[in-house]
């Protein structure tokens, strides 16, 4: 009898460990714990056990039953829990609900970066009208009437019976407005929209955006201008960019310079983007011409200063490797979503 009890114990324990599903559990219950199960059959045999052995054997059997029942119960719960977990499981591979994702236009992002850099070195921001009078757009910037320098910028004229008005061809008239309204020192950048009467193509659009810069104070020098532009270029294009200042001409600056940066596409070796020169033209600048001070009532012997201007589209084209300026104004979302 003792042998039979031990055998059943070993057998039941082993089979308990094999229970995986609720079917397994039911089979186990039927086989061992039901009224006709193996354990009940052993209890049946208890009546044949000699009287003096009965209490001990009976105790053993009761212990075995209690142990099996409690172990079975915990296994059964586990299996049931697993079963209900399986049945109510959320499919976490389903994607989230899509929402609109907004973003700023690449021109705005580029302008933001330019503004960030100049604000970090003490520049303020100024603004001015896009429909300008001839005086601010040209004359006060030392473009005399009937001067060939006016050919440098193809101009849109606005119909008016009261005066000569243009769509500003550059942000430079705001320089004049800033100096007219503020005593030196002044140090500002002027972002804004400008217009050129040029046929629309991959390389030019009838309007674009500029960031103008102006700093007038005591003893501002060309060296200071170079330092400022170099700082900007390294921040914007990366610290390993090389710069080249070469003499140029703008009526409102003297001396004047065009600034080229080493082509970061080809590393200066020459490619299609830099037209095989190794250099990319990025901005124009110079020392404010004394004639401009005369127009705004500054004393050229007291102050000196510099001005610069850059095209946001030009910088954005270079920054993102875009080859057609019209893309900025078509607003194809497949384009805008890339930035």
Site residues for other proteins, 163-182, by CB under 8 A, read 163, 165, 167, 182
> Which residues are CB-contacts of 40 (< 8 A; sequence separation ≥ 6)?
34
d(CA 279, CA 135): 35
Query: What are the φ and ψ backbone dihedral angles of 262, each rounded to 5 degrees?
Result: -60, 140
Rounded distance between C-alpha atoms, residue 78 and residue 20, angstroms: 9
Site membership for other proteins, residue 147 (CB under 8 A): yes
Q: Does 249 bind other proteins (CB under 8 A)?
A: yes
Single residue of 7, 193, 203, 294 touching other proteins by CB under 8 A? 193
Q: What are phi and psi of 163, to 5 degrees?
A: 175, -175
Does 131 contact other proteins by CB under 8 A? yes
Does the bond joining 185 to the residue before it have cis omega, within 30 degrees of 0? yes
Q: What are phi and psi of 52, to 5 degrees?
A: -70, -25
**Euclidean distance between CA atoms 125 and 43, whole angstroms:** 98
Site for other proteins contains 92 (CB under 8 A)? no
* Contact status: 29 vs other proteins (CB under 8 A): no
Binding of other proteins by 222 (CB under 8 A): yes
We find the least distance from the C-beta atom of residue 291 to other proteins, in angstroms, to be 9
Span interacting with other proteins, options 33-41, 71-79, 242-250, 264-272, rule CB under 8 A: 242-250
Q: Which of 86, 80, 60 is nearest to 8 (CA)?
A: 60
Residues 32-91 that bind other proteins (CB under 8 A): none
Q: Which of 91, 162, 240, 321 binds other proteins (CB under 8 A)?
A: 162
Q: How far is the CB of 246 from other proteins (least distance, A)?
A: 5
Going by their DSSP bridges, the two strands 243-250 and 186-195 should be labelled as unpaired
For residue 130, the minimal CB distance to other proteins (Å) is 6
Of residues 73, 66, 58, the one with CA closest to residue 19: 73
Do strands 279-288 and 186-195 pair parallel, antiparallel, or not at all (unpaired)? unpaired
Binds other proteins (CB under 8 A): choice among 4, 80, 112, 299: 112
Under the criterion CB under 8 A, does residue 257 sit at the interface with other proteins?
yes
**From candidates 31, 198, 264, 270, binder to other proteins by CB under 8 A:** 198
The interface region with other proteins, picked from 21-29, 33-41, 42-50, 218-226 by CB under 8 A, is: 218-226
Q: Is 159 in the site for other proteins (CB under 8 A)?
A: yes
Nearer to other proteins, 13 or 197 (CB): 197
- Token pair for residue 212? 């103008």
Whole-number minimum distance, CB 159 to other proteins, in Å?
A: 4
Q: Which residue has the tokens 């012997």?
A: 301
When asked if residue 105 is in the footprint of other proteins (CB under 8 A), the reply is yes
- Quick one: tokens of 71? 């172990």
- How many chain residues are in contact with other proteins, going by CB under 8 A? 97
Q: At what angle do helices 2-17 and 54-87 cross, to 10 degrees?
A: 10
Site for other proteins in 280-319 (CB under 8 A): 287, 289-290, 304
The two three-digit tokens of residue 56, written as one number? 């001990």
Query: Which residue in the set 31, 226, 266, 268 belongs to the binding site for other proteins (CB under 8 A)?
Result: 226
Cα(18)–Cα(75) distance, integer angstroms: 10
231 binds other proteins (CB under 8 A): yes
């Amino acid at each position: 009898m003792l042998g039979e009890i031990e055998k059943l114990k070993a057998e039941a324990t082993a089979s308990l460990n094999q229970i995986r599903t609720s079917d397994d559990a039911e089979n186990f219950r039927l086989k061992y714990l039901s009224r006709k199960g193996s354990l009940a059959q052993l209890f049946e045999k208890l009546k044949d056990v000699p009287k003096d052995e009965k209490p001990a054997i009976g105790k053993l059997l009761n212990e075995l039953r209690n142990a099996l029942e409690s172990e079975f119960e915990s296994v059964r719960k586990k299996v049931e829990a697993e079963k209900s977990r399986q049945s109510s499981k959320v499919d976490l591979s389903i994607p989230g609900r899509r929402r609109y994702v907004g973003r700023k236009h690449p021109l705005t992002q580029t302008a933001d970066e330019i503004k960030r850099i100049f604000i970090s070195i003490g520049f303020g921001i100024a603004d001015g009208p896009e429909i300008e009078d001839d005086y601010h757009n040209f004359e006060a910037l030392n473009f005399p009437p009937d001067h060939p320098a006016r050919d440098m910028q193809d101009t849109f004229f606005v119909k008016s019976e009261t005066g000569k008005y243009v769509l500003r061809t550059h942000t430079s008239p705001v320089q004049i407005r800033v100096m007219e309204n503020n005593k030196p020192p002044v140090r500002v950048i002027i972002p804004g929209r400008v217009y050129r009467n040029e046929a629309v193509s991959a390389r030019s659009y009838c309007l674009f955006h500029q960031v103008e810069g102006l700093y007038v104070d005591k003893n501002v020098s060309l060296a200071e201008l170079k330092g400022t532009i170099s700082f900007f270029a390294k921040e914007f294009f990366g610290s390993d960019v090389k710069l080249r200042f070469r003499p140029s001409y703008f009526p409102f600056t003297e001396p004047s310079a065009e600034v080229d940066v080493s082509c970061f596409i080809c590393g200066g070796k020459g490619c299609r983007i830099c037209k095989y020169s190794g250099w990319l033209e990025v901005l124009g600048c110079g020392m404010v011409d004394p004639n401009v001070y005369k127009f705004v009532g500054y004393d050229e012997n007291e102050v000196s200063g510099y001005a610069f201007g850059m095209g946001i589209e030009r910088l954005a084209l270079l920054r993102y490797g875009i080859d057609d300026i019209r893309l900025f104004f078509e607003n194809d979302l497949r384009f805008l979503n890339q930035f």
